[in-house]
DNA sequence: AATGAATGAGCCTTCATTCAT
DNA sequence: TATGAATGAAGGCTCATTCAT
């Protein structure tokens, strides 16, 4: 039955994902999830015993899938650094503007209310991974002459913080696609040699 | 009596401010506020009839006081653009790192759950005001030869998004003073003519 | 100031009358009355200390005014018994169908919840008075040859119970003017000699 | 489980019936019912979510049972119209004088506060059904020579309004068995040929 | 007399959690 | 495993009543 169990667990996580995306973290009740899953109250408790447990499980599933497949794939090809950075930014843009199934708000609510040690904070991991990827791409770009900067790490961090700022702004003050494009472009332009 | 009433209203707002700072928006109950104020349930309802009403009142009081007095004062003196930008950033840094009485998290929770038209969204107003100030300072700095950039508006926006990113990161993944310094410095350096 | 006091008392009773007419007895709160009168909470308590006290006061004022003036006046003239009974029924009909300011429902609620000794029950007094009036009119009518029945008292009671039935029906199942006319006419016809 | 559920639903309705009989409609709180049933607050809400819902359910159960079984049974026998009318009146009398478990007052309170379209107003239905029964009985009685009247419908209505009047009077001004007997007798006598 | 702020009791409603089946 | 009835705690809201001014 472990097979069937795993199946059901996955099913619950999917439905719960939708609930967290819609209501954030704090407003979600076990009842919400039960109803979304259309299972019994007791049934849910068999798998998860609190919204926190549920949320953390949803989150790790989510991150697992997340693995920036597009980027990874591209890295295996012979794409230029510029192409790959563009690809990365395209993914980020999609995430920033995503309305459906976004866990961003739920993450803010959860991680701002719970002091998670950085080492095990998935948000932190994602952020650091992003910086790492961007830094690498920039360095590659410098080597190939596509990019120009004397602080690739600083630039990568700057980019990631801007992305964070855009994400939160998208949820709180509302921004449109043009705004995102403009901001990302601003940064990219800082990277490109300006002599031309 | 209106005098005393106003007094008490203010008192409630102060206490509520503390509660929102501590628990964010969604977790705050009227009971929390009642207990923080040490008044009766009915007494609170005399002044505010929901946590939303309370929060919005707290917020407008907060913004009112906020008025970036330091900056304003400096503007009336003969401070250089560089000094003034440094001052602005110091204020922002304080805000980013503030643990006590920060409404940042509560704002995220409230404004991500409620679609407020941009025109009346105080978060938006604050952001735009920030961009405006920074842009002006940069332009002044360009005129005085302190700064160098061909897109003051873009640079101002970039700075403000980084600040947003730092704010949210401070609450969710935790960042220390050095990180803030490093990020702000990175941007400042981009502004300073590098020929020397 | 006793003059002014009496004035205000009267004012409160008028407003309260409207409130009881609209909401019945049980649903009325002191707050309702305070708001209807636009006076202070404490102010109302200076005059009445419960809705019950208020209601009973409203009721006695109401009954006082009620005194079937029209009938009384007619009795002093040389109206025929038939005319006077018709007049009486017209008044009753008005009462049965009245939507505004009717205390009927409030009376039902109050007197069905409180066992008032018949001797001091104003509803009972009114009922008995009605029977008495009708009986007298019928007897007069018999003497003048207008009416015919061998049980004037029984007929009067029957009429009054029908009126009670119509009153309560008007409030609970809804009846229209035609229905009232038809019912009252039915009784009248039983009184009139049928030989003609 | 549905079996047990139905059982409990019935149990709650019985207890609630008692509560409404005792306190009318408006004064009944969910807490009253919870206590009468000796179940938990939440438990009650599982079955009914307001006193209104409860009351309407109580009412329809009540009417269902009500079916004037005695009359129906008699109709299938060879009882005379007079016997059957007497039987009907005996039932009504019982109802008029009933102290325990009577929903009359609750009905007054509920239906005078809520405008229910006549077509779906159970009080109206009951009234009309009563008129219909009485009219039929009278007509049968006329055919068999037991009764005499030239307006069976009018007489039936008159009877039913008197009964309504007696019901409400029983609750508000208090009447005893003799009074009921006397009033019903008065009407009956009007039906019986008087020549003998 | 009159005001209206303040209190606290009371009822409403929703859910997390348990448990018998 | 799975169900869903049941419980009771928690928080919301409204008002009767009091009292300092």
Instruction: Note the pLDDT tens digit of each residue in B82-140.
Output: 999 999 999 999 999 999 999 999 999 999 999 999 899 999 999 999 999 999 999 99
Closest alpha carbon within chain D to C175? D118
Q: Can you tell me the mean pLDDT for A88-106?
A: 95
| Alpha-carbon gap, residue C93 to D69, rounded angstroms | 36
Nearest to C118 among D107, D167, D174 (CB): D174
| Chain F bases closer than 7 angstroms to a protein Cβ | 1-20
DSSP state of B114: S
Distance C34 CA to E3 C1' (A): 12
Q: Can you tell me the mean pLDDT for C77-94?
A: 90
Shortest CA to C1' contact from A5: nucleotide: F1
What's the gap in Å between the CA of C152 and the closest CA on chain D?
A: 11
Length of chain A, in residues: 196
A and B adjacent (3 or more CB pairs under 8 angstroms): yes
What angle is formed at CA C125 by the lines to CA C122 and CA C130, rounded to 5 degrees? Answer: 130
Residue D94 has pLDDT above 70, yes or no: yes
| Alpha-carbon gap, residue D26 to D22, rounded angstroms | 11
Residue A163 touches chain B, beta carbons under 8 Å: yes
B and C adjacent (3 or more CB pairs under 8 angstroms): no
Residue D192 touches chain C, beta carbons under 8 Å: no
pLDDT of residue B79: 84
Q: Can you tell me the mean pLDDT for A50-78?
A: 80
Q: Is C174 left (phi over 0), alpha (psi -120 to 50) or beta?
A: left
| Alpha-carbon gap, residue B33 to B31, rounded angstroms | 5
Question: Concatenated DSSP letters for C5-68?
Answer: HHHHHHHHHHHHHHHHHHHTTTT--HHHHHHHHT--HHHHHHH-SSHHHHHHHHHHHHHHHHS-
Q: How far is CA A150 from CA A48, B34, B189, B194, in A?
A: 49, 56, 11, 11
Strand E atom within 7 Å of D49 CB: yes
Instruction: Note the pLDDT tens digit of each residue in A140-163.
Output: 999 999 999 999 999 999 999 999
Measure CA to C1' and name the residue nearest E20: D1
Q: Can you tell me the mean pLDDT for C8-32?
A: 97
Residues of chain B contacting residue A161, judged by C-beta atoms under 8 Å apart: 161-162, 165-166, 169, 183
Distance C57 CA to E3 C1' (A): 24
Instruction: Note the pLDDT tens digit of each residue in D47-66.
Output: 999 999 999 999 999 887 76
Q: Hey, are the CB atoms on B112 and A166 less than 8 Å from each other?
A: no
Percent of chain B with pLDDT over 70: 92
Q: Hey, are the CB atoms on B162 and A163 less than 8 Å from each other?
A: no
Nearest to D161 among C111, C121, C166 (CB): C166
pLDDT of residue B3: 79
Instruction: Note the pLDDT tens digit of each residue in C46-83.
Output: 999 999 999 999 999 888 776 556 666 666 677 899 99
Chain position carrying tokens 């897109």:
B151
Q: Can you tell me the mean pLDDT for C98-124?
A: 94
Residue A190 touches chain B, beta carbons under 8 Å: yes
Nearest to D158 among C111, C157, C162 (CB): C162
Residue B74 has pLDDT above 90, yes or no: no
Q: Hey, are the CB atoms on D183 and C27 less than 8 Å from each other?
A: no
D130, D163 in Cβ contact below 8 A?
yes
pLDDT of residue A76: 66
Residue D75 has pLDDT above 70, yes or no: no
Chain position carrying tokens 């807490």:
D31
Residues contacting D76, CB < 8 A, separation 6+: none
Residue A80 touches chain B, beta carbons under 8 Å: no
Distance A188 CA to F8 C1' (A): 59
pLDDT of residue C196: 46
Residues of chain D contacting residue C183, judged by C-beta atoms under 8 Å apart: 157-158, 161
Shortest CA to C1' contact from B42: nucleotide: E7
Q: Poorest-confidence range of A30-39, B71-80, D94-103, D162-171?
A: B71-80
pLDDT of residue A75: 65
**Burial (CB count <10 Å: 0-12, 13-18, 19+), residue B174:** middle
Q: Can you tell me the mean pLDDT for A72-95?
A: 86
Distance D14 CA to F8 C1' (A): 24
What's the gap in Å between the CA of A79 and the closest CA on chain B?
A: 28
Q: Can you tell me the mean pLDDT for A14-19?
A: 98
Q: Can you tell me the mean pLDDT for B69-77?
A: 65
The four Cα atoms C147, C152, C157, C160 give a dihedral, to 10 degrees, of 20
Give the distance from CA A151 to its chain's centroid: 25
pLDDT of residue D196: 46
Residue D192 has pLDDT above 90, yes or no: no
Residue B164 touches chain A, beta carbons under 8 Å: yes
B10 in helix, strand or coil?
helix
Q: Give helix B81-97 / helix B152-172 axis angle, nearest 10°.
A: 20
Nearest to D124 among C115, C124, C173 (CB): C173
Residues of chain D contacting residue C28, judged by C-beta atoms under 8 Å apart: none
Residues of chain B contacting residue A123, judged by C-beta atoms under 8 Å apart: 172-173
| Alpha-carbon gap, residue A193 to C25, rounded angstroms | 84
pLDDT of residue C73: 67
Instruction: Note the pLDDT tens digit of each residue in B18-70.
Output: 999 999 999 999 999 999 999 999 999 999 999 999 999 999 998 877 656 66
Residues 44-63 of chain A with CB under 7 A from strand E are 45, 49-51
pLDDT of residue B196: 46
Neighbours of D82 (CB within 10 A): 17
Best of A25, A122, A168 to substitute, by most chain B Cβ atoms within 10 angstroms, is: A168
Residue B76: pLDDT band with limits 50, 70, 90: low
| Alpha-carbon gap, residue D66 to A173, rounded angstroms | 63
pLDDT of residue A4: 79
Provide the token pair at C55: 């209601």
Closest alpha carbon within chain B to A27? B26
Neighbours of D128 (CB within 10 A): 15
What's the gap in Å between the CA of B4 and the closest CA on chain A?
A: 36
Nearest to D165 among C24, C115, C164 (CB): C164
The four Cα atoms D130, D131, D135, D138 give a dihedral, to 10 degrees, of 60
| Alpha-carbon gap, residue D74 to D64, rounded angstroms | 19
Q: How far is CA B146 from CA A62, B82, B83, B133, B163, in A?
A: 47, 7, 10, 16, 22
Instruction: Note the pLDDT tens digit of each residue in B170-195.
Output: 999 999 999 999 999 999 999 988 65
Q: Hey, are the CB atoms on B164 and A169 less than 8 Å from each other?
A: yes
Residue B40: its H or E element = none
Instruction: Note the pLDDT tens digit of each residue in B142-161.
Output: 999 999 999 999 999 999 99
Residues 21-40 of chain C with CB under 7 A from strand E are 39-40
Closest alpha carbon within chain B to A186? B154
pLDDT of residue B195: 56
Q: Give helix D152-172 / helix D122-143 axis angle, nearest 10°.
A: 130
Residue D122 touches chain C, beta carbons under 8 Å: no
CB-contacts to strand F (7 A): A 1-2, 4-5, 8, 39-43, 45-47; B 29-31, 41-42, 45, 49-51; C 29-31, 41-42, 45, 49-51; D 1, 4-5, 8, 39-43, 45-47
Measure CA to C1' and name the residue nearest E15: A31
Chain position carrying tokens 């003609």:
C196
Nearest to C183 among D161, D171, D187 (CB): D161
pLDDT of residue A196: 46
């Amino acid at each position: 039955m472990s097979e069937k169990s795993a199946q059901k667990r996955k099913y619950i996580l999917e439905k719960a994902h939708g609930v967290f995306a819609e209501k954030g973290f704090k407003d979600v009740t076990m009842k919400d999830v039960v109803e979304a899953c259309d299972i019994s109250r007791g049934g849910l408790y068999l798998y998860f015993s609190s919204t926190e447990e549920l949320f953390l499980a949803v989150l790790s599933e989510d991150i697992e899938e997340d693995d920036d497949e597009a980027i990874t794939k591209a890295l295996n090809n012979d794409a230029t650094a510029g192409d790959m950075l563009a690809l990365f930014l395209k993914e980020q843009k999609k995430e920033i503007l995503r309305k459906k199934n976004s866990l961003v708000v739920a993450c803010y609510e959860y991680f701002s209310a719970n002091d998670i040690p950085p080492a095990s904070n998935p948000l932190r991991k994602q952020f650091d991974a992003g910086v790492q990827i961007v830094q690498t791409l920039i360095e590659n770009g410098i080597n190939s002459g596509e990019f120009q900067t004397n602080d690739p790490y600083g630039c990568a961090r700057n980019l990631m913080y801007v992305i964070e700022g855009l994400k939160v702004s998208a949820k709180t003050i509302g921004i449109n696609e043009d705004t995102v494009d403009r901001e990302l472009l601003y940064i990219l332009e800082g990277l490109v040699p300006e002599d031309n």
